[in-house]
Amino acid sequence: MKEWTIGELLKETKDYLVKKGISEPRLSSELLLADILKMKRLDLYLKFDRKVTQDELDRYRDFIKRRIKGEPVQYIIGKTEFFGLSFHIDRSVLIPRPESEFLVEKAIDYFKKRDGGIIIDIGTGSGVIGISVAYYSPNVKAVLSDISEDAIRVASLNAEKLLEVGDRFMVNKGDLFEGIEEKGDIITANLPYLNREQIDNLQKEVRSEPISALYGGEDGLDLIKRLIDEAEERMNEGGELILEFDEAGKEGLEIFLKNKGLEYTLYKDYNNLYRYCIIEY
């Protein structure tokens, strides 16, 4: 039976994933093997000649089979990187996108000018946004809220690992602000914002994620509009609502905001698409 080195296995796997039409074949092969070998991804290249044991090889092949079926790498290894931190995730929560780090950056900038405060993260999922802000912002408490009990379980695990001290965070199961007594200085939200047409045309990999975390109604704005309606009473004076939306809903969102007389700014993402909205109170 052939013995494989790390270098040989990575090349063979990458070529195989390319033939199968899997996205990011090199990164997929590296992340999956690094997880099995309990190594950092970049350290694989420092140990190219290291032999892979049969047990490691068998587990790696199982991972690759799951990847070929369209299961995202993050679900296979049960974790993801976000804003320089490692978070536990599973199939009950959406996989955090790098684009959502914008919300964290803006919230951290806000708290740099103040001595602490409260961030309320609505639709928190795995908790990455609220936890990241609190992690990098001394004296900031994160309120992590989601309607999904499974999401609250995942967010709790991540908060306990990264924030440690109990008074730095609290979790809340509820619909938007339901059950939350605190008022926020910053409210962040990456709520479901895809419309019906977008849901019907999702890529295979995205279909592995919970649809309830993606579908925002016929125009993608159902929850976002409800959030904006409720946010003013839940915000401290001088606070900001920072949310993510899809460019397909830009026109409808702007009409809604203007009709309410709100002061807002829209921002584009790295693909030059409108994705973020900050409302000042």
Residue 124: give its domain's CATH number: 3.40.50.150
Could you tell me if 67 and 201 lie in one domain?
Answer: no
222: tokens are 């159902």
Q: Are 162 and 227 found together in one domain? A: yes
pTM as predicted: 0.90
Q: Domain check: are 34 and 88 in the same one?
A: no
- Of 77, 99, 114, the last residue of a domain is 77
User: In terms of domains, do 72 and 125 share one?
Assistant: no
- pLDDT reported for residue 207: 64
Q: Of 77, 92, 124, which marks where a domain is finished?
A: 77
pLDDT of residue 12: 96
Q: With contact defined as beta carbons under 8 Å apart, do 241 and 189 qualify?
A: yes
Number of domains the chain is built from = 2
Claim to verify: residue 70 and residue 92 sit in the same structural domain: no
* Domain residue limits at 92: 83-280
Query: Cα–Cα distance between 203 and 215 in angstroms, integer?
Result: 14
- Pick from 69, 2, 71, 4: which is nearest to 31 by CA? 71
Last-in-domain residue among 77, 110, 132: 77
Task: Answer yes or no: do 254 and 132 share one domain.
Answer: yes
Residues 140 and 196 in one domain: yes
Phi-psi region of 123 (alpha: psi -120 to 50; beta: other; left: phi over 0): left
3-class DSSP assignment, residue 172: strand
Beta-strand (E) ranges in 116-245? 117-122, 140-146, 169-173, 184-189, 235-244
Say if residue 123 carries a ligand binding annotation: yes
The amino acid occupying position 95 is I
Residues 73 and 132 in one domain: no
Same domain, 116 and 233: yes
Based on the domain organization, do 245 and 140 belong to the same domain?
yes
190 annotated ligand-binding residue: yes
Q: Does 265 share its domain with 196?
A: yes
Please give the chain's pLDDT, 281 residues, in tens: 789 999 999 999 999 999 999 999 999 999 999 999 999 999 999 999 999 999 999 999 999 999 999 999 999 999 999 999 999 999 999 999 999 999 999 999 999 999 899 999 999 999 999 999 999 998 999 999 999 999 999 999 999 999 977 789 999 999 999 999 999 999 999 987 666 666 666 676 666 666 665 665 677 788 999 999 999 999 999 999 999 998 888 999 999 999 999 999 999 999 999 999 999 99
Residues 187 and 274 in one domain: yes
Bridge partners for 68 per DSSP:
none
pLDDT tens-digit profile of 180-205? Answer: 999 999 999 998 766 666 666 667 66
Nearest CA to 72 among 192, 210, 194?
A: 210
Q: How much is the pLDDT for 199?
A: 64
Query: φ and ψ at 165, to 5 degrees?
Result: -70, 125
Q: What share of the chain is helix, strand, coil (3-state, %, to 5)?
A: 45, 20, 30
Q: What is the pLDDT of residue 167?
A: 84
CATH number of the CATH domain containing 19: 1.10.8.10
Element (DSSP H or E) covering residue 112: helix 101-112
Contacts 24+ apart (CB under 8 A), 260-267: 260/228, 262/228, 267/102
The annotation status of 126 as a binding-site residue, yes or no, is yes
Question: Which of 243, 76, 79, 82 lies closest to 154 in space, CA to CA?
Answer: 79
> Could you read off the pLDDT of 205-256 as tens digits, one per residue?
666 666 665 665 677 788 999 999 999 999 999 999 999 998 888 999 999 9
Q: Is 124 annotated as contributing to ligand binding? A: yes
Q: Which residue has the tokens 């045309």?
A: 201
Residue entry with tokens 């599973």 = 90
Outline where DSSP puts E strands in 99-234: 117-122, 140-146, 169-173, 184-189
